[in-house]
Structures are given as structure tokens and as C-alpha cells.
Amino acid sequence: MVADSAPRRATAPLLKDLNERTVLEAIRSGAPISRAEISRRAGISKPTVSLALQSLLEAGLVREAVHDPDGPSYGAVFFEPVADAALVLGVDVGARFLRGALCDLTGAIRARHDVELPVVDAATVLEAVIGLRDALVLAAGLPGDLIDGAVVGVPGVVDAASGLVRLADNVPGLEGTAFGDELEVQLGLPAQVENDINLAALGEQWRGVARGVDDFAFLSIGTGLGAGVVLHGELHRGRHGAAGELDYVGAGLGLDLDPCAEAVSGFAAEMAGAPGASTALTAPYDVRDVFAAARGGDAVAHAVVEEEARRIALHIVPLAAVNDLALVVLGGGLGANGDLLLGPVRERLAQWVPYPPRVEVSSLGEAAVLTGALSVGVGRALDSVFVNRARAARNSA
């Protein structure tokens, strides 16, 4: 067979698609915006912009807007995106709570609810997601059929090849299941299941402290430990979807490096029980009490927090050394204590690695996972809404 060496030429439908996408993006980033300004920003002729606008208007993706309030309109027509052309459902499956929200195509939250789960297992979570979706639709006051899809964060690894959830010990019944497929059936919607810490990283990139940073990691320290890694602006999942599983960093070393809540409580008990120790800490040595006591000047609690900072820094070192990160964002119940942890963590990294990353506390807090879910959903919805509606409008013309 002789290879075809002739250059491939773009077809008319492909060029039309590209032009419409370019015009839509110009409107999304600059609304309210005139036809002339769209042409200038997109580098497309005014007649081509007019054709694209006609298709987008017929598809219900854009509409005419009031003129630019910052200047005279000179009779020009301005355009803006239709934010509620579609909605996105985002859900965060936590240790005790199910957090959910509906947002529109601009990312604006239309409804938000948190639900405390009576029991945390896969069956209960599945049922609760359905109920949460219905409650959010009611609260938003918008038709449920506007929901383009759902993105759900779970505490486990989503296997890249099979879609099965792995390493999900915190949610009984979730391990080894095709949870995304089950959600799609029950919701009647496209559903994407993603590791919760990966979503937290994407949330910080979209609306948090990592905006504009191409290489960073979100390190969550709470009842468990995990990291979401973003390289070159894209989430790095790894071959099996298990990138960032920092529980295994100390494997084979025989050292106690665990920075999670149970380990912190155990270390606090050990320190408080040492001969001559004077402390206000008492059993069960809840981590919140430890940090509160450290803020109050308790010497034993302060020593526990210093050890916690050392362990956190030890887990950042391999991330920083291998990936040369610009930023590490601390999150989770323990990671949120930046007033006590940031200083000592930064000091140790400055001593241990040649190019220490900047370390900051999450600016989104408990909303990081949910924000990431919505960011992924908006990206998918913009694409699917454009393809489905714009093509339907053209086909009916």
C-alpha cells in the first residue's frame, strides 16, 4: 500500500465547528462582547463570526446582551453566553458527609447541600446521591433535564483500564465496584467517578490558591493521606490511576512516618505518658485538642505538632524531588492548621531539598473536592452541549 502523502484538508463542517468553538470561547471570556471585538480577539473575519454567531444563537448557547456598561455602544450588538444552557452535578463522598452542588456553565453555584450519612457504605452513598440530586434540582428551581452529567469524588483509586474503584477501604462495599456505571444507571446521566484528592487539586487549580500554577500537588492529611499531582497544567493520574498514594512512601523502611490523625493521637499519648511530662492533654488525645493545646502554649502538644510538621515535610520531599514542583497545597483536617504547620514544614524543606516548593494551605477548605468535581463537569458539559446543540441546530436548518 502506498501512503497518501498529500496534505489533509480541513472539511467545511470541521472548519465550521472550529470557528463556532472559537467564537463561543471569545464570548465566554469577554462577555458582554461585540461582533467586532469577537473578530479581533479570535482572529476571524466578521462575516465568519456572523455565521458562527447565528449557529450559536439558534443552538441556545449565546444570546444578545445589554451593551458594555463601561463605554458607549455606538449601536453595536453585544453577546453573552447562556449560563443555564446546561447544569452540572458535583458530589463529594466524605467520611461522614455527602456534599453536593449544582452549577451552571459559568461555574456559578445554583444550589448547594451537605447531607450527613447515617451509615457510610456504597449502597447508602448511592441512594443518598439520588436523593441529593433531587433536592438540589428543587432548590435550584430549574428543570432537572438541564443536568448534563455528574462528577463524583470518592476516597479510592479509580482504575484507569477497568473503571473499578480500588483502595477504597473507608467506604465498605465500594472496593472493586464499577461505581460510575451504577451511578449512571440510577441517575440516568453520564457519571464520572474520580479520586477525591485528585478533584481537590483540580478545585484549587480552578478557583483556589493554585490558580495559574502548572506544576503543583495537593496534599491531604486527615484520617487518611493522599496527594493529587498536576504537571504541565494537567492532572497526573499515573498508569493505574494511583499517582499520589503517599501511604506507600515509607514502604520497606521500617520507620513510623504516618502523619494521619490516628498516628498523631498515638504519638500524643506516648509523649503525654513519658516520665516527667507536664501537659493538659488527656485521652483520647483528639487531634483537634492537640492543636488547640499547642496554640495555648502546651509544651507536649507543641512537640507533637513539630513532629507532625516533620512527617508532612518527609512526604513532600519525594514529590518535590521527583517533580520539581512550584507549589504544595496542604488540605484535609490536619493540613488546614497552617498557623502551626507552615513555618516548620517550610523550614525543613529549605534544609532538605535544593529547590523547595512554596507551601500554602488550601484556600477552599472542605469545598476543595466539590469545587474540583464541578470544574471537571463544566469542562465536559461545555463540550457536550456545544456538540449536541450546535450540530442539532445545523441539521435542522
Q: Is the pLDDT of residue 231 over 50?
A: yes
Hey, what's the cell of 43? 482572529
Residue 348, CA atoms < 13 Å, CB-side half-sphere: 18
| Secondary structure tally for the chain: helices H, strands E | 13, 15
Rg over CA atoms, the chain: 25
Query: What confidence score (pLDDT) does residue 383 get?
Result: 81
Geometric angle at alpha carbon 207, from 71 and 338, rounded to 5°: 130
- The Cα 191–Cα 151 span in angstroms is 6
Q: Is the pTM of this model over 0.85?
A: yes
Q: Return the C-alpha torsion angle 206, 373, 262, 306, nearest 10.
A: 0
pLDDT digits (tens, 9 = 90+) for 62-109: 999 977 556 665 678 999 999 999 999 999 998 889 999 999 998 999
Residue 296: the pLDDT is 97
Given a cut of 50, whether residue 2 has pLDDT beyond it is no
Task: Provide the pLDDT confidence category of residue 59 given band limits of 50, 70 and 90.
Answer: confident
Query: What are the pLDDT digits (tens) for 283-324?
Result: 999 999 999 999 999 999 999 999 999 999 999 999 999 999
> What's residue 394's pLDDT?
54
Pairwise CA distance, residues 155 & 120, whole Å: 12
Q: Which CA distances in Å does 179 have to 122, 166, 227, 236, 253? A: 8, 11, 22, 21, 35
> How many Cβ atoms sit within 10 Å of the Cβ of residue 383?
12
